[in-house]
Structure 1
Amino acid sequence: MKIYKVTAIILLMILSVTVFAGCTTFDNFKAAFIDKPEDNKATIQIGVYEPITGVDSQHGELEVKGIELAHEMYPTVNGKFVELEYADNASDINAAETAIKELILKKPTVILGSYGSVYSMVAGDYIRDAKIPAIAVTNTNPLVTSNNDYYFRVCYVDSNQGDILARYVLEQKKEVTAGVLLPEGDDAAMAMATAFTDRIKAETDNEDAITVYEDYKPGAKNFEKQLEAVEKSGVKSVLLPGDVTDCANIIKQANKMGIEVMFLGDKEWSDKKFKSLTKGAATETNTAFVNFYSAEETVNKEAEKFLKAYHEKYGEDSVPEDSVALGYDAYVIALDAIDKADDDATGEEIKEILKSQNEFQGASGTITFNTSGDPIKTAYISTWKNDEIISLYTMEPL
């Protein structure tokens, strides 16, 4: 028996030496194994409400990627560790309702997500009733934040994108007329077109500044009538909101007809799916679109820190998707609000801090929340050059 006891003691000593060898000091050992929080009093929970599985999981993964990178860089706040609590809405409306209910039971301080405006709208009432502030990452539907004081977002809504494209036409291209090709029955496209036309008419003081405004049926195969009207009008820029397949088909047909105009589109044009659909017809001479982020434009120190961290983790040649940058921004804005709050701050108090957010410097630029919880922020216009997205113009919020 004595032999076994001696052996056990020796093994214990070896194990202790091994553990201490992994820690350069006793303080490191103490922090790693003794002081680790064992209850919620020493932690802050941030909810991550995303489609981790299902058809939208690839998009949700990008937002989570940005959130997790920010968490690696900023793992604590107010002397407490931040824990990410995940809730998978499974790319399904019914599962989304269950997921948000379960997440709320864990009492996170702030909730981030979800990709897909519909999943955020499902969660909206539960978030408001629980008085837990939430920050959407890439939702463009205005209904996510409208009539909900507890929901914010870090991307432009549909109408914002029309206004941004109008500013590009006026400020960068120095044009005083433009055109619009609009799909029938598309409310989001109509919101974008209205903002676009309103800005150009107001800035030029000319009610006739939109010299061609043509409707088309979604899914149509022939756009010759509309494109002939564009050519006849003599405009050089045409807003093209709507489904990416229709937009790609219009650009291809215009290319075949030899019509030399620049088509202007929304953030969806930055997706490789759009580029593939155009079959090479979309180029830097005929295509420009809103982009939520540009790696070419590190507009502040936080943008530099984000890009440096991204390159260190994924390689110097890697280019972060805009969803990653916005996921990062959602986390750091949430952390900033928590940092400004008292230790016992309520969700309502943190919501009020978020509402007062002014000129926050994030990876995607300067962000200020308006009264609806939508951002007034740095805007980017990009285009496709070969198989790469390049920046055309950067504008700061007015």
Structure 2
Amino acid sequence: MKISRTAIKTICLMLTFTAVLMLSGCTSYDNFRRTFIDKETEDSNVIYVGVFEPESGQYKNVGKEEIKGIQLAHSMYSNVKGVRVELVRIDTESDTNTAKAAIESLIKLNPVAIIGSAEEANSMIAAEEARKAKIPMITPSASNPLITENNPYAFRACITYDQRGTGLAEYTIKELSAKKVAIITIQNDSTQEKMRSAFKARLRKEGKKSGPEVVLDESIGIDEFNMVKLAKQIQKSGAEVVFSPIGLEKADLLYHQIEKRNMTNIRFLGNQEWLTEDFLKMKEKHPQIKISFTSDNVLNSGGTAETGFTAETQRFLVKYANRYGQRDIPTQNTVLGYDAYMLTINAINNARSLKPTDIRDALADTKDLRCATGVFNFDQDGNPVRRVNISTVRDGKLVSAYVTKSKTKADSMKKIEH
């Protein structure tokens, strides 16, 4: 029996689908048929954007938050240059072995671009495979410099930890006008070290103009925190600001000791991990403690947009409430997923053609694109050149405290290591 070329192609597609389904468990047959098989017989005027996120396993919550933002943006902007854009989702299962096979299968489906992942290690895996396939990839929230460095096909929507450190330093200098600063970090924590190095570098630069003095600089073993001793050191130093991006449990213990010594005039600085429900709930036990932290979230506690954002921020908030309900508050991962899609669709619209290589070039050439988290440009390594938003808690409510006057740039790995 002679088999037609169309039948052969359909069989191949079904085999590919079976492999993807076994790996991801997140694509139904109806979705696959509509996306791939029907394309051959009904509508060839379609392009595909891959979504490479954890929907199960350790990082599933973060992955699902990012997917919510991606899907929201797609529902608003699903047609470009006269073609329909469809999403192809695949589950990394929060596992590097699965992720490697999953990204290879996703690439075989010929997407014009890929969004993901929420995980650092799997984003590095995806970035390398995207480079080989010459398909642009943008991670919403993974900040490791190795993901994008020396890879012209890898981009990110979030800022890096060194950019956050630089932003906190500007806030310390320009907004807080601090004269004495203490630095408390945990040993062998690479993210804290990146923030610390950038924070100190910005203070040193300002120091030439009579900037703040670092009066205490402690890097402590993760199991060596003596909070009584640490509080005494901070008190003796006379620090007005303490850069201390430590976790919830240690922060809780330190704040208790600070309150016991009536040192509540001090402001503590942290990173975006403080913008979690658990951390903010812990902070309610310490109403006198002042904290500020970097944030990609676009909301105040009252449900209004923070200052320093754009018209796209308001559009995002209205559409999000309409789709998910007024009581569903978007996380910073959700809004970064939204912006990752916005950056992708803008690049598709501006590209010379619908070829992935041309879309990559257009993504790299992004100029002052106003998205929900701010205005985007990219450096030579695919990192956003962005202003940094600093949030705080005031009268029990989350509010924007400061948006940096200058745009920050990510450091290269070589600079970070030195």
TM range, smaller chain: 0.7 to 0.9
Amino acid aligned to 1:247 = A
In structure 1, C-alpha distance between the alignment counterparts of 2:217 and 2:195, rounded to whole Å: 13
Shift of 1:226: 2.5
Aligned equivalent of 1:275: 280
1:176 to 2:186 alignment = no
Q: 1:57 to 1:183 in 2, by over 3 A?
A: same
Shift of 1:242: 4.1
Residues 225-265 of structure 1: CA distance to partner in whole angstroms, max 9, x if unpaired? Answer: 23222111212111113444333433333233332311100
Structure number with greater Rg is 1
In structure 1, C-alpha distance between the alignment counterparts of 2:272 and 2:115, rounded to whole Å: 21
Which residue among 41, 47, 52 is the counterpart of 1:49? 52
Shift of 1:198: 0.9
In structure 2, C-alpha distance between the alignment counterparts of 1:71 and 1:41, rounded to whole Å: 19
Aligned equivalent of 2:367: 358
In structure 2, C-alpha distance between the alignment counterparts of 1:202 and 1:270, rounded to whole Å: 29
The two structures, once aligned, show a CA RMSD in angstroms of: 2.2
Say if 1:220 and 1:246, in contact at 8 Å, map to a contact too.
Answer: no
Pairs within 5 Å for 1:336-355:
336-345=346-355, 347-355=356-364
Say if 1:201 and 1:210, in contact at 8 Å, map to a contact too.
Answer: no
Say if 1:60 and 1:114, in contact at 8 Å, map to a contact too.
Answer: yes
SS of the aligned residue for 1:377 comes to coil
Q: Work out the number of aligned pairs and report it.
A: 361
Shift of 1:150: 1.1
Shift of 1:61: 0.6
Aligned equivalent of 1:129: 132
Aligned equivalent of 2:234: 230
Aligned equivalent of 1:104: 107
Aligned equivalent of 2:218: 214
Aligned equivalent of 1:265: 270
User: What are structure 1's unaligned runs of at least 5 residues?
Assistant: 1-35
TM-score by length of 2: 0.81
1:290 to 2:294 alignment = yes
User: What are structure 2's unaligned runs of at least 5 residues?
Assistant: 1-37, 300-304, 408-418
Pairs within 5 Å for 1:42-121:
42-121=45-124
1:239 to 2:252 alignment = no
Q: 1:123 to 1:323 in 2, by over 3 A?
A: same
Shift of 1:389: 2.4
Residues 344-387 of structure 1: CA distance to partner in whole angstroms, max 9, x if unpaired? Answer: 43x22222221121211000111111112111123221123576
SS of the aligned residue for 1:369 comes to coil
In structure 2, C-alpha distance between the alignment counterparts of 1:392 and 1:277, rounded to whole Å: 20
Which stretch has the larger CA shift, 347-356 or 192-201? 347-356
Say if 2:274 and 2:293, in contact at 8 Å, map to a contact too.
Answer: yes
Pairs within 5 Å for 1:247-396:
247-260=251-264, 261-277=266-282, 280-281=285-286, 283=287, 285-295=289-299, 296-297=305-306, 299-345=309-355, 347-385=356-394, 388-396=397-405
The sequence identity of aligned pairs, in percent, is: 30
Amino acid aligned to 2:171 = Y
Shift of 1:388: 4.3
In structure 2, C-alpha distance between the alignment counterparts of 1:223 and 1:184, rounded to whole Å: 16
SS of the aligned residue for 2:179 comes to coil
In structure 1, C-alpha distance between the alignment counterparts of 2:156 and 2:280, rounded to whole Å: 27
Say if 1:186 and 1:242, in contact at 8 Å, map to a contact too.
Answer: no
Deviating above 6 A after TM superposition, structure 1's stretches of 4 or more consecutive aligned residues are none
Aligned equivalent of 2:28: none
Q: 1:285 to 1:276 in 2, by over 3 A?
A: closer
